[in-house]
Amino acid sequence: MFYIYLSAVGSGRSKKEAKHDAAKCILKRLNELGVSSTPEPDPDEIVHALSVDSPYKGMLQENAVGALQELCMTHEIQVPEYKVIGDEGPPHAKQFTIMCQVSKLEESAVSRTKKQAKQLAAFRMLNRLKSSLADVLASTAGEKDGPSESRKSGEISSGIAVSKYKELGSHTLGGRKTVIGLKISEYHLMMKNLDSVLLKRLKDGNEDLKMEAEDDPMGVLKRILEELNLDAEFNGIGTIECVCPSSFLLSPDQKTILLSISTSLQSVVFGTATTEEEACKMAATNALEHLKLMSS
């Protein structure tokens, strides 16, 4: 009986990988000495054995969870929910599966750590939302750059009315985001929670406020919008031709004014009259009726 003492040094990115490298060196030296009863392993098999997956392999550099949360909050989408739906593998090589759910959309990802699986699932959901809502996101980004040419021309055409009531529409509506996380069947519920003392008095039939709204609808609307922290904007579309029954035909010199209110979703009403000033007053009256109806 005889003993052979050999030693070797292995290196690697982890202890397990270094251990495999050291064992490979010992086997190679034993085969060189001709004292190994084990045939030299195939090099391809050795490479395969040394393929140790790091828990941080494929790790994302950016914070996809935070980016997804910001996107959902900005566009009033239901915030993402995360759930562990899988936990497989031996203790030293666990594989976690995490699902990310936004409204009815679901994406899942697998990784060696829960944190990384969550990031990957959020990354996939973020890309899916950006792809599905590309048009909406592009239009929202465009609004930040300034008013469009059509908006500018509309503002010019209604110059008289807008200059008279400029304090009502002094703020643009560009900051209001498109709601993309709401079902169409629930659109009519968006304004149920409008909280305004004046609007409540108007709905309750306060006679003094009702008479004031008839005489100065613009002033009453302005005060209500201030309570609700909403903006308004006039757009003139000039004269229009109406193809409808004769009883509804508009005279050629009538003006039509659109009034947009930055509710979520955006509310648009119009007024028609022989002058732009009167058309604005009618639009304001219609806006008051709209707010009363939709908040009831």
Average pLDDT value for residue range 163-175:
47
Residue 175 has pLDDT above 50, yes or no: no
- pLDDT digits over 179-188, tens only? 555 666 766 6
Average pLDDT value for residue range 71-75:
83
254 pLDDT band, cuts 50/70/90, is confident
* pLDDT at 90 (0 to 100): 87
Going from the C-alpha of 179 to that of each of 64, 103, 104, 148, 175, the distances in angstroms are 22, 13, 16, 20, 12
Going from the C-alpha of 106 to that of each of 15, 95, 98, 101, the distances in angstroms are 37, 19, 10, 5
Integer Cα distance of 128 and 218 in angstroms: 44
Integer Cα distance of 251 and 234 in angstroms: 22
- pLDDT digits over 85-128, tens only? 999 988 888 899 999 998 888 999 999 889 999 999 999 999 99
pTM: 0.45
* pLDDT at 259 (0 to 100): 87
* pLDDT at 243 (0 to 100): 45
* pLDDT at 120 (0 to 100): 94
Mean pLDDT of the chain: 75
Direct distance between the N- and C-terminal alpha carbons of the chain, in angstroms, rounded to an integer: 98
Tokens of 42: 């195939």
* pLDDT at 184 (0 to 100): 67
* pLDDT at 234 (0 to 100): 81
**For the chain, what percent of residues have pLDDT higher than 70?**
66
Please indicate whether residue 226 or residue 151 has the higher confidence score (pLDDT): 226
- pLDDT digits over 20-67, tens only? 888 888 888 878 777 655 555 555 555 455 455 555 555 666 899 999
Which residue do the tokens 């022989």 mark? 274
Residue 244 has pLDDT above 90, yes or no: no
User: Exposure of 162 by Cβ count < 10 A (0-12 exposed, 13-18 middle, 19+ buried)?
Assistant: buried
* pLDDT at 110 (0 to 100): 93
Residue 153 has pLDDT above 80, yes or no: no
Look up the CATH number of domain 147-294.
Answer: 3.30.160.20
Residue 145 has pLDDT above 70, yes or no: no
* pLDDT at 161 (0 to 100): 46
* Identity of the residue numbered 243: V
Going from the C-alpha of 233 to that of each of 229, 261, 266, the distances in angstroms are 14, 7, 11
Q: What is the topology classification, in CATH, of domain 64-132?
A: Double Stranded RNA Binding Domain (3.30.160)
User: Exposure of 148 by Cβ count < 10 A (0-12 exposed, 13-18 middle, 19+ buried)?
Assistant: exposed
